[in-house]
């Protein structure tokens, strides 16, 4: 059995991390007067758009615990009402402001639903999933990879850039969120992608794997002076040896080029950034958002720098014709297959003491240690939380 004491909090974080920002919806999924219920890290959350602003409240009536989003009921503009007995909550602060079936009830004004901070940027709605007593949230930027200086020779766009266009989908995966992070960031997992159409048509000499060499392969990153929040694979430096072929196993290189500057970094709570991928000048961002302890919502986003309308139209076409079918569905389907295949072994944390890691797994361990030391809280629902009963279909932004 392995000694997991160096990352025990991570082993206990089956339900995800608390007090972090998560993407919740694409903006277009929440129209004017829209109301959507979802679950992040075991926390039921209701999102309601009012006058352009998105409000987030705990989606669990204080009265008998039902989800308000099961039958959205908004009787006034600035409140949401529970469909069961009419407990009515103010969107602004969650306070119980009326009870339809008990108008003078002394309970009114004394209790309420927890609210959550919301930020909407470049077509994504982010929610800060915090404990009730956490206090002021850090800025969204603290939970995303840092912006890269545009003069950097390997600059590629970021989901928060002013002129970025972010296109992608979200789909539900039947595996724990940690298996998503560890798969996306694993320098040894490239092996599973070697025969995909995306790799073949680009003529990439995609290595079988990237072997970390020495300690410089592991870099902990910070972006706000508040301790490290991410780890990065410095591919393309001396820190990694690409493994291009394996004679004994009959594995040969596929092509003669790799995308330059395609570093990968993994950022708390669950964001993967792949710079200059699937093509130089683009970036892929992924999120592995915990729903419960056995499923996560997989966000697959491709980001382009589009200062003009013509740039936007071109990127939309490329996304529709190339990147979505070949990258998001072709290339990334291999990752989903791997995560769901790992899930039974790791269920309830059982795989952590039983796994047998090799040299390429040093980054996985570095990520586990980082999360263990620097997370802002481990989600502990405290009582059984039913899985979200209705898995969402894949969503993609309206073109
Ligand atoms: S359960 Fe919500 S009002 Fe009764
Ligand atoms: Fe992958």
- Residue among 70, 82, 98, 101 to mutate when testing ligand 1 (max atoms within 8 A of CB): 82
What is the rounded CA–CA span in Å between residue 43 and residue 291? 8
User: What per-residue confidence (pLDDT) applies to 190?
Assistant: 86
Instruction: Say if ligand 1 is within 6 A of residue 82 CB.
Output: yes
Give the pLDDT score at 210. 80
**What DSSP string describes 284-324?**
EEEEEEESSSS-EEEEEEEEEE--SHHHHHHHHHHIIIIII
Q: Which atom of ligand 1 is closest in space to residue 87's alpha carbon?
A: 3
**Extended strands (E) in the chain:** 20-26, 35-40, 43-50, 53-58, 79-81, 87-90, 96-99, 115-116, 118-121, 124-129, 164-173, 209-212, 218-221, 230-233, 240-243, 264-267, 271-275, 283-290, 296-305
Q: How far is the CA of 392 from the centre of ligand 1 (A)?
A: 25
Question: Which of 61, 89, 101 gets mutated to test ligand 1 (max ligand atoms within 8 A of its CB)?
Answer: 61
Nearest bound ligand to CA 189? 2
Q: Which of 278, 288, 294 has its CA nearest to residue 345? A: 294
* Separation of alpha carbons 108 and 87, rounded Å: 9
Task: Give the Cβ contact number of residue 358 at 10 Å.
Answer: 9
Mind listing the pLDDT tens digit for each residue in 178-237?
999 999 999 889 889 888 888 888 877 778 888 888 666 666 776 666 778 898 887 777
Q: Which ligand is nearest to the CA of 61?
A: 1
- What are the structural domains of the chain? 20-118 (2.20.25.10), 145-374 (3.90.380.10)
Phi-psi region of 127 (alpha: psi -120 to 50; beta: other; left: phi over 0): beta
The region, left, alpha or beta by phi > 0 then psi within -120 to 50, assigned to residue 28 is alpha
Which pLDDT does position 151 carry in this prediction? 83
- From the CA of 375, how far away is ligand 1's center (Å)? 35
Whose alpha carbon is nearest atom 3 of ligand 1? 85
**Which residues have their alpha-adjacent CB atom under 5 A from ion ligand 2?**
335
| Pocket flag, ligand 1, residue 61 (CB < 6 Å) | yes
Residues of the chain with pLDDT under 50: 398-399
| CA gap 194, 174 in Å, rounded | 24
């Amino acid at each position: 059995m392995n000694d997991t004491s160096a990352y025990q909090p991570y082993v206990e974080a089956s339900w995800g991390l608390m007090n972090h920002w998560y993407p919740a919806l694409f903006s277009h999924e929440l129209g004017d007067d829209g109301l959507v219920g979802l679950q992040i890290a075991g926390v039921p959350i209701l999102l309601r758009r009012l006058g352009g602003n998105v409000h987030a409240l705990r989606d669990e009536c204080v009265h008998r615990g039902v989800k308000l989003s099961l039958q959205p009921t908004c009787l006034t503009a600035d409140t949401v009402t529970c469909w069961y007995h009419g407990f009515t909550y103010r969107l602004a602060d969650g306070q119980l402001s009326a009870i339809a079936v008990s108008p003078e009830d002394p309970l009114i004004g004394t209790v309420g639903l927890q609210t959550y901070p919301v930020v909407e940027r470049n077509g994504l709605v982010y929610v800060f999933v915090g404990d009730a007593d956490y206090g002021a949230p850090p800025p969204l930027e603290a939970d995303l990879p840092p912006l890269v200086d545009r003069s950097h020779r390997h600059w590629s766009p970021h989901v928060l850039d002013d002129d970025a266009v972010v296109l992608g989908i979200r789909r539900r995966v039947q595996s724990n969120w940690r298996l998503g992070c560890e798969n996306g960031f694993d320098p040894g997992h490239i092996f599973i992608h070697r025969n995909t159409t995306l790799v073949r048509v680009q003529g990439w000499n995609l290595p079988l794997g990237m072997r970390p060499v020495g300690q410089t392969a592991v870099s902990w990153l910070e972006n706000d002076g508040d301790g490290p929040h991410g780890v990065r694979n410095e591919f393309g430096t001396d820190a990694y040896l690409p493994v291009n072929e394996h004679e004994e196993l009959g594995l040969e290189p596929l092509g003669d080029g790799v995308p330059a500057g395609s570093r990968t970094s993994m950022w708390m709570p669950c964001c993967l950034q792949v710079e200059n991928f699937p093509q130089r000048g683009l970036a892929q961002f992924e999120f592995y958002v915990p729903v419960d302890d056995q499923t996560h919502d997989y966000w697959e986003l491709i980001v382009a720098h589009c200062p003009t309308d013509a740039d936007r139209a071109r990127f939309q076409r490329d996304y529709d014709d190339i990147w979505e079918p070949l990258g998001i569905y072709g290339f990334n389907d291999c990752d989903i297959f791997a995560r769901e295949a790992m899930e039974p072994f790791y269920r309830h944390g059982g795989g952590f003491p039983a796994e047998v890691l090799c040299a390429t797994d040093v980054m996985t361990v570095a990520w586990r240690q980082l999360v263990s030391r620097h997370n802002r809280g481990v989600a502990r629902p405290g009582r059984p939380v039913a899985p979200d009963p209705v898995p969402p279909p894949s969503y993609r932004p309206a073109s």
